Amino acid sequence: MKRSKGQGNIGVLMGGVSAEREISLRTGEAITKALMDRGYDVCSIDVGYDIAEQLISKQLRVAFIALHGRFGEDGTIQGMLEIMRIPYTGSGVLASALSMDKIMSKRIFTAHAIPTPASHILQEAEGVEEALEKLDFSFPVVVKPASEGSTIGVTVVHNRKGLAQAIEQARRYDHRLLLEEYIKGKEITLGVLNGQPLPIIEIAPKCGFYDYRAKYTKGETEYILPARIPPKAHEEAERSGLKAYEALGCEGCARVDMMTDEKADIFVLEVNSMPGMTETSLVPKAAQFAGIDFPELVERILRGASLKA
């Protein structure tokens, strides 16, 4: 094999066993192509329950994590790579786990005075009656599984009947749910690359809610760069987004999803420690706007690969 750039054999870890498998495969394929085009030795690894055996047989020197969801974005694969002493891209074990868990993220945001929508936790044994008792904000309400990405299992509900249906749907993905205050306004996102902010993108789905279909169906969402928000809101979004990234202990590339309300106040929703990385994903769009093409973006992320423990 050709060895260039001094990196040796790089494995792009993709696929996985989560509900986000198909998105991860697309991310991994784009990253693999970009690295190969830059002259790196690269192999694609479809991550399954035999991943330990695969890592041993490949004798990797560096792992580029392109996994989304559970068993890839939640600190588990990061822990395995730490034990095997294989440097890897992105955030470490704890930061990955905290970012993936929306309930724990909320607690961190609150502790650091980072603005975030009001919310309540719905435990496994609790249903719609308990949910109604806990709510101290009015409908609409956003119902989220605690540990899923790509808006999987997320529903905006407007009444009691919708709440019962949303709880049932979200429980397919997690036993713990987050009931969150709905913020009416613009959805925006801030990419962070090695601790530095990228341009803020405004997300304008045609259906009004940025769900799985709006994210991954061509033409269903308009992405506006730079975001159409006032300068003061832009500064606050950048400040709050970086603060959330740092509070969770993130490293490398991440994406902070936020809302602005009708007064242009900023609310942090969540941090994605392994954002989508196809050439048309949000972080690459922001990087391109900042003058960083996709292969260069991927290479910058690779350069940050390390062991964290």
Q: How far apart are the first and last CA of the chain?
A: 30
The reply to whether 160 and 267 lie within a common domain is no
Please confirm, yes or no, whether 40 is among the known catalytic residues.
no
The reply to whether 166 and 211 lie within a common domain is no
Within 10 angstroms of residue 185's Cβ, the number of other Cβ atoms is 18
Q: In the 8-state DSSP scheme, what is residue 116? A: -
Q: What is the residue whose two structure tokens read 């994210």? A: 215
Query: Which residue in the list 26, 70, 176, 255 is annotated as catalytic?
Result: 255
Please confirm, yes or no, whether 160 is among the known catalytic residues.
no
Say if 142 falls within a structural domain: yes
The reply to whether 239 and 102 lie within a common domain is yes
Confidence of residue 221 (pLDDT cuts 50, 70, 90): confident
Please confirm, yes or no, whether 24 is among the known catalytic residues.
no
The reply to whether 15 and 84 lie within a common domain is yes
Please confirm, yes or no, whether 182 is among the known catalytic residues.
no
Please confirm, yes or no, whether 159 is among the known catalytic residues.
no
Query: Which residue in the list 149, 251, 276, 299 is annotated as catalytic?
Result: 276
Contact 25, 15 (CB under 8 A): yes
* Residue 41 CA: distances (Å) to CA of 217, 225, 295: 32, 34, 14
The reply to whether 31 and 127 lie within a common domain is no
Q: Output the six-digit token pair for 39.
A: 């002259």
What pLDDT score does 6 carry? 46
Q: What is the mean pLDDT of residues 230-238?
A: 97
Confidence of residue 161 (pLDDT cuts 50, 70, 90): confident
Say if 4 falls within a structural domain: no
The Cα 258–Cα 261 span in angstroms is: 10
Query: Which residue in the list 11, 16, 20, 40 is annotated as catalytic?
Result: 20
* Residue 168 CA: distances (Å) to CA of 74, 99, 153, 154: 24, 24, 9, 11
Say if 296 falls within a structural domain: no
Which residue segment(s) compose the domain that 125 sits in? 119-181
Contact 67, 73 (CB under 8 A): yes
- Tally of structural domains, the chain: 3
Query: Which residue in the list 150, 240, 273, 281 is annotated as catalytic?
Result: 150
Identify residue 45 by its one-letter amino acid code: I
Q: How many residues does the chain have?
A: 309
Please confirm, yes or no, whether 191 is among the known catalytic residues.
no
Higher model confidence: residue 280 or residue 154? 154
Query: Which residue in the list 236, 257, 281, 299 is annotated as catalytic?
Result: 257
Contact 201, 285 (CB under 8 A): yes
The reply to whether 109 and 223 lie within a common domain is yes
The Cα 229–Cα 227 span in angstroms is: 6
The reply to whether 127 and 218 lie within a common domain is no
Q: Output the six-digit token pair for 160.
A: 């009691």
Confidence of residue 205 (pLDDT cuts 50, 70, 90): confident
In this predicted model, what pLDDT tens digit does every residue of 88-143 receive, in sequence order? Answer: 999 999 999 999 999 999 999 999 999 999 999 999 888 889 989 999 999 999 99
Please confirm, yes or no, whether 150 is among the known catalytic residues.
yes
Q: How high is the mean pLDDT of the chain?
A: 91
The Cα 47–Cα 235 span in angstroms is: 39
The Cα 104–Cα 99 span in angstroms is: 8
Strands (E), 16-140: 41-47, 62-65, 119-122
The reply to whether 159 and 188 lie within a common domain is no
Q: Output the six-digit token pair for 123.
A: 């435990």
The Cα 94–Cα 110 span in angstroms is: 18
Q: Output the six-digit token pair for 243.
A: 């603060």
Query: Which residue in the list 74, 174, 181, 270 is annotated as catalytic?
Result: 270
The reply to whether 71 and 145 lie within a common domain is no
Say if 151 falls within a structural domain: yes
Query: Which residue in the list 182, 212, 216, 223 is annotated as catalytic?
Result: 216
The reply to whether 263 and 216 lie within a common domain is yes
Give the least confident one: 159-163, 206-210, 260-264.
Answer: 206-210
Single pTM value for the model:
0.91
Q: What is the mean pLDDT of residues 32-60?
A: 94
- We report the CATH number of the domain holding residue 56 as 3.40.50.20
Please confirm, yes or no, whether 257 is among the known catalytic residues.
yes
